[in-house]
Amino acid sequence: MARFFLLTILSTLSYHLQAQDKQDLNWFLSYFDYTKDQEDVNQALKESEERLQSSIDINDLAAQASEYKVQGLLALTKTHNYSQAYDFFTRALDIEDSLTLNYERAITYLAIAALYQQIKDPAKSLGVLEKAIKFQEKTDDLNLRVYYYTQLGKAYVTNNNAKLALEQFDVVLDLLSDINKPSLRGEAFYNMANVMATQTNFEEALAYYKKALTEYRSVGEKQREAIALMDIAKLYKVQKNMDRALANYTASLDVRKSLDDQGGIAESYNNIAALYLDQKDIAKTVANAELGLSAAKAANLSTELRRSYELLYLAYKGLNDFQRALHYQEQYSSIHDLLQQENDQTSIVSKEAAREIAIQESKVEKLEIERMQKERELQAQKEFRQLMLIGSALVLIIAFLVFVLYINKRRANRLLAISNEEIQSKNKQLEELNATKDKFFSIISHDLKGPLNSLTGFSGLLINHTDKLSKEDIQTLAKDLDKSVKNLFALLENLLEWSRSQTGNIEFKAEAFDLTQILIENKALLETQAANKKIELSLNYQQPFQIRAHKHSINTVVRNLLSNAIKFTPEGGKVSLLLEPGKHYVKVSIADTGVGMSQTVIDKLFRIGSKHSTKGTADEKGTGLGLILCKDFVEKNGGQIGVSSEMNKGSMFYFTLPAN
């Protein structure tokens, strides 16, 4: 039964792979598929040795490793010469390590793990699988990774570590979460159920067995379906739910009959007979045990023959039919002794193989120590040569430095003269910057005075002439007052942003954000202002467009440019926001149908020393700093700003930013 279970696992994991010549997972699993016609081992070995010799002749190391692996698998699965298999696998692994062949190394480690399983050394098998985890994770073969984690989980089960076993099966389910492979998912659920059952978590085990059963049925995996039904029945039997146990045993039997699986039929009948024996229903016990005996004979399955004889012996003993009971007891003892001898022989072979492999491991370890010692000696020689080279280099460097010092002394005088010229140039630049600063403060003092004078004048009119002013006059004054306050606020806001930028208080740290969303938000923010002038606002690009830049400064640039476009567009005009993605740069344009500008005015834009401010079409005042601030912010984000315009036809301000 265990052998059949192994075969079904291997066939499930490889059914979707096509036969290939390369040494992949399908090729590896084919060596363990005992249902196929057995090849001539001697002929296979001869052909492999010929290919190995050819690869040695042309110094093809990868091909040599492949042939060592072929011979190792033949020794493991066909001739059962485990020490020879281990020798071939280690030869292959040495070459694969030197060539950094991750996929091939993962397959070789699986082969070595299988070897340790066969010689009954689960701890070493687990150790090999744990060592191989880094190699299989470097491959993109999903089938290999699923098979690897399945084997690792089973190794943890064998080594009584249920927690780690469940973690591996969870990994398998994660790998299979986005692909349609019901059979493999069913296998993962089945393995988790087995672990839960060993931990006596029967309810969880039942749930996982039923999930596995659903997956198997969805793809017509009849053999797997029968096995799952059998295990579900066993759990119900443990829980004393004999009716459900019998129902699932019977369902499993029906599936196996449809497959004409005599070995499985024998197991099912024997399980049903054992159930009836527990219930003291001797007649049904005998009937089912005899059917199981017949199927076991047809399948030549010794383990089930032994069970059938034992059940019949116990049943007839219960009927006090001692003659028949003695007959079946003798049959049971005969097969039991035979199986015990086979087990003893297998145990002896496994122990002998383990002893021979231990000797080889010791030799390999000794060779590894010698190799490391030689490497240390070679490293010491290399370091000595390096020291000699360093000493020689130091002598040359000292001589060179003396020469350089002489040259530098002559050069120093020339550099001193150049430095004096640079200092004079820097002084001139500082004088220009100081003059720019004076112009800047002159602009600020002039522009602050205008709004403040307006505020003073409007407030004076309201204080001294309230009685003489009509309601319409007061509303007119209030509107003018509101314009002055907003203009003053915009001036102060741009002044604050510009000054923070110049003093380094704004950290232009890039972050990811949606540029389209910035345009949408600013469009929504200024729609009321545009509606007051009956201006149509439009945006040509609605899809998200991610960039990395300083979000706040870009938002300020868009707001200033859009506000300016509305300001200089007459009633009934149109303002368009345009986003044009490029391979390296993204371009944002704000076009209006406003008053436009002459080339003389364009030349004065973006310069603090040539500050220019124009009233809007509704007499709105500009601060004179908005475009200067925009230019500074765009350039600090790695972009450029520009404008194209014609008098009375409108303007288009645009800026670019790196797309990535």
What is the mean predicted confidence (pLDDT) over 603-625? 60
The model's confidence at residue 613, banded by pLDDT at 50, 70 and 90, is: low
Residues 466-498: pLDDT tens digits? 666 777 777 776 766 776 676 566 556 666 665
CB count within 10 Å of CB 20 equals 10
Predicted local confidence at residue 573, as pLDDT: 92
The model's confidence at residue 10, banded by pLDDT at 50, 70 and 90, is: very low
What is the mean predicted confidence (pLDDT) over 503-507? 62
The model's confidence at residue 9, banded by pLDDT at 50, 70 and 90, is: very low
Place of tokens 């390590």: 97
* CATH code assigned to 23-33+40-179: 1.25.40.10
Predicted local confidence at residue 355, as pLDDT: 78
Q: What pTM was estimated for this model as a whole?
A: 0.54
Kindly tell me if the per-residue pLDDT of 154 is higher than 90.
yes
The number of residues making up the chain comes to 660
What is the mean predicted confidence (pLDDT) over 308-334? 92
Q: What is the DSSP letter of 78?
A: I
Please tell me which residue, 449 or 360, carries the higher pLDDT value. 360
Whether residue 165 contacts residue 197, with contact meaning beta carbons closer than 8 Å, is answered with no
Residues 546-561: pLDDT tens digits? 999 998 889 989 999 9
Residues 557-611: pLDDT tens digits? 999 999 889 988 999 899 999 999 988 899 999 999 988 888 888 887 777 655 5
The model's confidence at residue 247, banded by pLDDT at 50, 70 and 90, is: very high
Residues 33-83: pLDDT tens digits? 766 556 688 898 999 999 999 999 999 999 999 999 999 999 999 989 999
* CATH code assigned to 507-658: 3.30.565.10
Residues 6 or more apart whose Cβ sits within 8 Å of residue 638: 549, 657, 658
Kindly tell me if the per-residue pLDDT of 450 is higher than 60.
no
The model's confidence at residue 13, banded by pLDDT at 50, 70 and 90, is: very low
User: By 3-state DSSP, what share of the chain in percent is helix, strand and coil, each rounded to 5?
Assistant: 75, 5, 20
Kindly tell me if the per-residue pLDDT of 205 is higher than 70.
yes
What is the mean predicted confidence (pLDDT) over 263-267? 95
Please tell me which residue, 77 or 395, carries the higher pLDDT value. 77
* Secondary structure of 323-372 as H, E, C letters: HHHHHHHHHHHHHHHHHHHHHHHHHHHHHHHHHHHHHHHHHHHHHHHHHH
- What separation, in Å, do the N-terminal and C-terminal C-alpha atoms of the chain show? 61
Predicted local confidence at residue 323, as pLDDT: 92
Partners of residue 657 on adjacent β-strands: 586
Greatest distance between any 2 Cα atoms in the chain: 136
Phi, psi of 319 (to 5 degrees): -85, 0
Please tell me which residue, 272 or 599, carries the higher pLDDT value. 272
Predicted local confidence at residue 351, as pLDDT: 73
Please tell me which residue, 21 or 105, carries the higher pLDDT value. 105
CA distance 405 to 257: 98
Kindly tell me if the per-residue pLDDT of 282 is higher than 90.
yes
Kindly tell me if the per-residue pLDDT of 19 is higher than 50.
no
Question: Could you tell me which CATH class the domain 182-259 is placed in?
Answer: mainly alpha
What is the mean predicted confidence (pLDDT) over 329-341? 89
What is the mean predicted confidence (pLDDT) over 348-360? 73
Q: What is the dihedral of CA 467, 469, 475, 476, to 10 degrees?
A: -150
Please tell me which residue, 355 or 74, carries the higher pLDDT value. 74
Nearest to 8 by CA among 271, 225, 162, 297: 225
What is the mean predicted confidence (pLDDT) over 440-446? 54
Angle between helices 102-118 and 122-136 (to 10 degrees): 170
Kindly tell me if the per-residue pLDDT of 338 is higher than 60.
yes
Angle between helices 182-198 and 2-14 (to 10 degrees): 150
**Among the ranges given (206-220, 422-436, 611-625), the one the predictor scored with the smallest mean pLDDT:** 611-625
Measuring CA to CA, how many Å separate 412 from each of 73, 401, 403, 408, 416? 76, 15, 14, 6, 6
Phi, psi of 578 (to 5 degrees): -125, 130
Predicted local confidence at residue 380, as pLDDT: 76
Predicted local confidence at residue 582, as pLDDT: 87
Mode of pairing for the β-strands spanning 511-514 and 574-581: unpaired
Kindly tell me if the per-residue pLDDT of 651 is higher than 80.
yes
Predicted local confidence at residue 273, as pLDDT: 95
Mean model confidence pLDDT for the chain: 83
Q: What is the DSSP letter of 37?
A: P
CA distance 215 to 288: 30
DSSP alpha helix (H) spans, 465-572 = 471-502, 515-532, 551-567
Nearest to 537 by CA among 547, 548, 546, 525: 525
Please tell me which residue, 10 or 264, carries the higher pLDDT value. 264
Predicted local confidence at residue 146, as pLDDT: 92
The three-class DSSP label of residue 659 is coil
Nearest to 195 by CA among 172, 226, 218, 175: 172
Kindly tell me if the per-residue pLDDT of 367 is higher than 90.
no
Predicted local confidence at residue 440, as pLDDT: 57
Whether residue 111 contacts residue 73, with contact meaning beta carbons closer than 8 Å, is answered with yes
CA distance 516 to 502: 28
CA distance 176 to 180: 7
